Amino acid sequence: MNDFYYTPNPDVVHKIQQWDFELLGNKIAFTTDNGVFSKKRVDYGSIVLMNAFNISKIPSGKILDLGCGYGPVGIALAKKYTDREFDLVDVNNRALSLAQTNAKNNGVDNRLTIYNSNIYENVQSKYAAIVVNPPIRAGKMVVNTMLSKAKNHLVPSGTLTAVLQKKQGAPSAKKLMKSTFGNCEIIKKDKGYYILESIYNGDK
Ligand SMILES: C[S@@+](CC[C@H](N)C(=O)[O-])C[C@H]1O[C@@H](n2cnc3c(N)ncnc32)[C@H](O)[C@@H]1O
């Protein structure tokens, strides 16, 4: 049996929970279950990430919520920024099915596309922004690939915005993002969570 939230099909008995949570000024109804990340409340790092995300800095186009879990980041951003479309991807099918339910129950499913992808494996589009709260427990290879390959999935001037705790590798993630993109800023620090942001300036 495994209840690892970062596997395709967590083998753990279902325990559906429903609760409301205020994000970016909107009350959002969530359904969660065992076998998904942060099932009892929205993760604090994800809240810091969505609060720091600055829509006015990004070009026009779709936004990718990478490792969406049951959907808090993508759904909260979609509720707030009603002229944008979003793709939500995750490797965990249970999380994806909850994200679909949550998108529908909060009236944003018409602007969200939710699908399975192991990192960027099934990601075809280029995005105005990628937001990610990476799965530290899945290991460095997964986290580093999410950060370093983001470049291939952004339009010029698009941004990668990531949240990591200082103690879980934010400084080395910053170095990796800087070496990949040529730039990386810490745009927010809150209770040990760092929000790192890089801009894709196009390949010259
Ligand atoms: C830290 S959680 C964040 C979840 C969600 N964004 C949130 O705010 O609650 C990281 C997510 O990455 C997903 N993940 C793990 N490995 C992955 C992979 N190889 N490809 C895509 N997603 C993955 C996990 O299933 C998990 O939902």
Q: In the predicted model, is pLDDT for residue 5 greater than 90?
A: no
What span, in angstroms and rounded, lies between the C-alpha atoms of 97 and 194?
Answer: 29
- 175 versus 14: which is more confidently predicted? 175
CA nearest ligand 1 atom 10, residue = 135
| pLDDT tens profile 103-152 | 999 999 999 999 999 999 999 999 999 999 999 999 999 999 999 999 99
Of residues 109, 130, 108, the one with CA closest to residue 120: 130
Residue 2 has a pLDDT of: 56
Judge contact between 86 and 63, C-beta under 8 A.
Answer: yes
- Burial (CB count within 10 angstroms: exposed 0-12, middle 13-18, buried 19+), residue 35: buried
- Asked if residue 35 has its Cβ within 6 Å of ligand 1, the reply is no
pLDDT score of 4 more than 90: no
Question: If you count them, how many residues does the chain have?
Answer: 204
Give the pLDDT of residue 7: 74
Going by pLDDT thresholds of 50, 70 and 90, the confidence category of residue 1 is very low
Per-residue pLDDT tens over the stretch 76-106: 999 999 999 999 999 999 999 999 999 999 9
CA of 201 to the centre of ligand 1 (A): 26
In angstroms, how far apart are the furthest CA atoms of the chain? 51
Q: What is the pLDDT of residue 98?
A: 98
Instruction: Indicate which atom in ligand 1 lies nearest the CA of residue 38.
Output: 9
Separation of alpha carbons 160 and 198, rounded Å: 5
pLDDT for 3: 55
First to last CA, the chain: 49
- Cα–Cα distance for residue pair 168/16, rounded to 1 Å: 29
Distance 138 CA to ligand 1 centre (A): 9
User: For the structural domain made of 17-199, what CATH number should be given?
Assistant: 3.40.50.150
Query: Which tens digit of pLDDT belongs to each residue from 30-79?
Result: 999 999 999 999 999 999 999 999 999 999 999 999 999 999 999 999 99
What average pLDDT score do residues 140-165 get? 98
With a 6 Å cutoff on the Cβ, whether 45 touches ligand 1 is: no
